[in-house]
Amino acid sequence: MKKSIGDNMIPKEWGFDRGLALAKKAGYDGIELWLGATPWFQLETSDADVRELRRKVDDAGLLVSNVSNSLDWDRPLSSRDPRVREQAMRHLTRQIETAQILGTDAILVVAGIVTEETPYQEVYPRTVEALKKLAETAARARVKIGCENCCSEQRFLMSPREFKLFLDDVASPWVGLHLDVGNIHDTGFPEQWIEIHGPRITRVHVKDVMRHRGRCGNESVYTNLFLGDNNWKAIREAFGKVGYDGWIIAEMEARYRFAQDQQFHDTAVAMDRFISGRL
């Protein structure tokens, strides 16, 4: 397994270069780039500037693990408004293009968001249809689309079995699961998702979750590795069983209030323990 961390964890005032240096120093193998989340990587960022980002990553001795985006929540593929859906297709197509430039073969998509206003029975077929189209672009680029399981936030595809049927309906080897082991909350167990999805897992986000907390106002349900309720030993064993040996990517919601660089180091050490299986 290889370790990565999101560039959205880099304090904005630090800038990309200093963030890369910190990631390297902390022992990461790669960096996850978030389209739309940082000043250095926006939809308007030109191909030349994306190539420059890649050069900086290379020079830092890192790889780009994958490209994620922060735009799906406001411009979902499942919107009722066809104009919003077009915007979503545009940013996801750009995400695929930039993944190619950055030398990685995976993107993260939050596919389908159920709300009171946009009901499940509409979101499902709309999302399947959109992903079928996007899969053609992904296949040409040889970039895999990983649909993230943001179960509680999306209110969509809440169980691993349901997610499997969804991927079956999309029916493309270029569309799989970007598994976030912290996002399952009290609706299931990540180790079971791993066993069910196995080779369809494109990338893995890691964070821990405090199931008892739920979403209480501004209090985050997420926490640092090993502080929450995930059964990390079972998760590690499940990855071993299905033969997942790819990227694991730190995605911490709560940030250190002081000594922010320390969170990079502490998380990297915890990820090493997880990878080693000494739990």
Sites of contact with another protein (CB under 8 A): 80-83, 116-119, 121-122, 124-126, 128, 169
Per DSSP bridges, beta strands 2-6 and 30-35 are: parallel
Q: Smallest distance from the beta carbon of 178 to another protein, in angstroms?
A: 24
- Of 166 and 274, the one with the shorter C-beta distance to another protein is 166
Give the 3-state secondary structure percentages of the chain, helix then strand then coil, rounded to 5.
45, 20, 35
DSSP H or E stretch at residue 66: strand 63-69
Per DSSP bridges, beta strands 201-206 and 106-109 are: unpaired
Q: Smallest distance from the beta carbon of 158 to another protein, in angstroms?
A: 19
> What burial letters (b/e) apply to 52-71, b meaning 16+ CB within 10 Å?
ebbebbeebebbbbbbbbeb
Per DSSP bridges, beta strands 208-209 and 222-223 are: antiparallel
Q: Smallest distance from the beta carbon of 66 to another protein, in angstroms?
A: 29
Alpha carbons 64 and 69: distance in angstroms, whole number: 14
Angle at 193 between CA 188 and CA 194, to 5 degrees: 140
Q: Smallest distance from the beta carbon of 137 to another protein, in angstroms?
A: 18
Q: Smallest distance from the beta carbon of 86 to another protein, in angstroms?
A: 11
- Of 13 and 116, the one with the shorter C-beta distance to another protein is 116
Q: Smallest distance from the beta carbon of 80 to another protein, in angstroms?
A: 5
- Of 83 and 278, the one with the shorter C-beta distance to another protein is 83
Give residues with Cβ within 8 angstroms of 140, minimum separation 6. none
3-state secondary structure at position 224: coil
Angle at 269 between CA 265 and CA 271, to 5 degrees: 115
Alpha carbons 82 and 267: distance in angstroms, whole number: 41
Of the candidates 89, 201, 65, the residue with the CA atom closest to the CA atom of residue 137: 89
Q: Smallest distance from the beta carbon of 276 to another protein, in angstroms?
A: 44
- Of 35 and 167, the one with the shorter C-beta distance to another protein is 167
- Of 39 and 217, the one with the shorter C-beta distance to another protein is 217
